[in-house]
Structure 1
Amino acid sequence: MAEVLVFVDHVDGAVRKPTLELLTLARRVGEPVAVAVGAGAGGTASVLGEHGAVRVLVSEAPEFGEFLVVPKVDALAAAVAVVSPVAVLVPSSAEGKEVAARLALRVGSGVVTDAVDVEVVDGGVVAVQSAFAASFTTRSRVSRGVPVVTVKPNSAPVEPSAAAGAVEALEVGFSELSRGVRVVSRAARESTGRPELTEAAIVVSGGRGVNGAENFAVIEALADSLGAAVGASRAAVDAGWYPHASQVGQTGKSVSPQLYIASGISGAIQHRAGMQTSKTIVAINKDAEAPIFDLVDYGVVGDLFQVVPQLTEEINTRKG
């Protein structure tokens, strides 16, 4: 059976959820072969095997921690040469897209970004994308070489499927270019205890209508009641009300959760570009003419400082 490479996103051996989703998708078009690199990569094998990886190609060379991006491209290019896959699937993060683009150029192929599914049509792998707030579905095929596809988080369920997960050492030759940018220091980001924004199944975002950093506590309370991540519009971030790392939009992060709740966000196109593929969208805004209401599945016209606390209270009551 044809094999599909899946690039593993992990932290010291702890596999992140988008990779497990990729393994679910990969099984639809072939046998998944995982590529895990960096410190702790060998520790990913059991989890990857439980979720369908027939093989796990591992390299723990120090270059992956010392240098940026290019060593990972070197590893994937080596894996392509070893496996001859029908496709390469990569998580659709900022780094993932750069790795995918560099890999496609390296192997003389094409890249499709932000896919939500993959399928086999007439013997070839086709990437499915959702556009214009899921109003349209596009299907794209790479016309030359091995398709390199980045897939948005939350595009597929995590479905365990036991496979061998046999560990194999991956021999990687690092180019001089891979040593072009060295990591000189790292600082751990302070944990909020909430899910990662781009991976969360539920996102609650606040915008200009929140009217101050101190008022984001209302948004955080709703998010915590739902086990959600907190996002913010560019207006809120530029005003200094919330960290830039939480910005959703064209110049921020793209999210595609099962549920997106926008509070006090007008719905400018720059924000919509980052969340319009969310499965269900709810907006709370006191302006009935706000553009966000053209996009939503459910809209509440009202003051967020009245609506959101009531919603939070009701959720907590039902949980109790």
Structure 2
Amino acid sequence: MEAKTKDLWVFVETNQDGSAKNVGIELLSPGKMMAEKQGGSLAAVVIGCHVDAAVQAAATHGADKVYVVDGEEYAHYTTDAYTIALCALVEKYGPTSMLIGATNNGRDLGPRVSCRLEGGLTADCTALDIDEEDGKVAWTRPAFGGNLMATIKCPNNFPQIGTVRPGVFKKCEETEAKAEIIREDIHVPADKIRTQVLELIKEMGDENVDLEGAEIIVSGGRGVGGPEGFAPVKALAEVLGATVGASRAAVDSGWISHAHQVGQTGKTVGPKLYIACGISGAIQHLAGMSGSDVIVAINKDPDAPIFDVADYGVVGNLFEVLPVLTEEIKKARA
């Protein structure tokens, strides 16, 4: 389809209580920059049930407009209802480009919408920009197992759509809400929704791990040596009020559950502090945590690649370093 405006849209996914998920608010930050380069406005799209909190969050984090679709049929995410609603909005207003968080729902919604609109989609992006020569979105994502970064364009169909990993961008500062709120009355008949949500299971086993929302993460890698090796990692995390993370090597070895995995095939995170313990720093892991504000690496190999991205490094055995660090933090807080 043809674009009717130069606007850039950000799909703001919502929680069950009607609040906005972090990734949608995070994407308003690069969205603002990209919309200005495109010569259009930044619009947030909120679909859900009783979503005033999400609308307010979008309005105070940089959106010029907020398109709102609110109805009982959107109380739980379903592919059919959300696709119909989002496609109806796109066909009516015609944005040039659209960003969607690469969450479980976003990874389902993005391809369905792009296929229905006969456009392209670039998945799991980690960097975004507008090409100054042609004004098209330059989507950057890991390729070939994370061994290189590819920049992709979909220049012939609109809107240009991409899914972006949570935690890649930081939220902009909250300001006074000045956004235009546009409410659309779009309802989807029950017979058009082919799936029904029977139960929501929020936890994986006995764990509920929020890596993407964590301000401090302490991660263990192959160097912990086994499941018991996570004991000092967890002890340090406890005194710091941190979340426990892990590299793919530790997860693949069965030492800790996949819910803790950071990296290209896990979660992309951007905490204020990331402590990597016994993690060598494979490019796949770095792709998931290099956006952290401060990175501390603890590894007995002085040539480990993790030290190339670390702000602070300790060359030493993690089983000697972590207990001392944990005790010193306890003393400082006593």
Q: Give TM class, smaller chain.
A: 0.7 to 0.9
- Other structure's SS at 2:210 match: coil
In the aligned structure 2, how far is the partner of 1:50 from the partner of 1:251? 32
In the aligned structure 2, how far is the partner of 1:277 from the partner of 1:43? 28
Aligned to 1:127: 138
**61-70 or 240-249, which moves further after superposition?**
61-70
Conserved in 1, the CA contact under 8 Å of 2:130 and 2:137? yes
Are 2:43 and 1:33 aligned?
A: yes
- Other structure's SS at 2:236 match: helix
Gaps of 5+ in 2: none
Are 2:36 and 1:5 aligned?
A: no
Give the drift of 1:233: 2.5
In the aligned structure 1, how far is the partner of 2:310 from the partner of 2:141? 16
Conserved in 1, the CA contact under 8 Å of 2:221 and 2:279? yes
TM-score norm. by structure 2 comes to 0.77
Are 2:151 and 1:146 aligned?
A: no
Match of 2:89 among 74, 79, 82: 79
Change (3 A) 1:195 1:27: farther
**Correspondence 1:1-320 to 2 at 5 A:** 2-11=6-15, 12-28=17-33, 29=35, 30-65=40-75, 68-113=78-123, 114-119=125-130, 121-122=132-133, 124-127=135-138, 129=140, 139-144=151-156, 145-152=158-165, 153-161=167-175, 162-173=177-188, 179-189=193-203, 196-226=210-240, 228-257=242-271, 259-268=273-282, 271-272=285-286, 274-275=288-289, 281-288=295-302, 290=304, 292-293=306-307, 296=310, 298-314=312-328
**37-46 or 221-230, which moves further after superposition?**
221-230
In the aligned structure 2, how far is the partner of 1:255 from the partner of 1:242? 18
In the aligned structure 2, how far is the partner of 1:191 from the partner of 1:5? 36
- Other structure's SS at 1:53 match: coil
Change (3 A) 1:268 1:59: same
In the aligned structure 2, how far is the partner of 1:75 from the partner of 1:55? 17
- Other structure's SS at 1:260 match: strand
Per-residue displacement from partner, 1:118-159 (whole Å, max 9, x unpaired)? Answer: 346346242353769x99876543212211122332413422
Identical residues among aligned pairs (%):
38
The letter of the residue matching 1:23 is L
Conserved in 2, the CA contact under 8 Å of 1:119 and 1:127? yes
The letter of the residue matching 1:143 is P
- Other structure's SS at 2:219 match: strand
The letter of the residue matching 2:268 is S
In the aligned structure 1, how far is the partner of 2:32 from the partner of 2:308? 37
**298-307 or 251-260, which moves further after superposition?**
251-260
Change (3 A) 1:237 1:138: closer
The letter of the residue matching 1:151 is V
In the aligned structure 2, how far is the partner of 1:95 from the partner of 1:229? 23
In the aligned structure 1, how far is the partner of 2:136 from the partner of 2:331? 47
Gaps of 5+ in 1: none
Per-residue displacement from partner, 1:158-181 (whole Å, max 9, x unpaired)? Answer: 2224323424124154697x6344
The letter of the residue matching 1:163 is K
**110-119 or 277-286, which moves further after superposition?**
277-286
The letter of the residue matching 2:197 is V
Per-residue displacement from partner, 1:43-81 (whole Å, max 9, x unpaired)? Answer: 322222222333332333344345633432222212211
The letter of the residue matching 2:25 is L
The letter of the residue matching 2:163 is T
In the aligned structure 2, how far is the partner of 1:130 from the partner of 1:314? 40
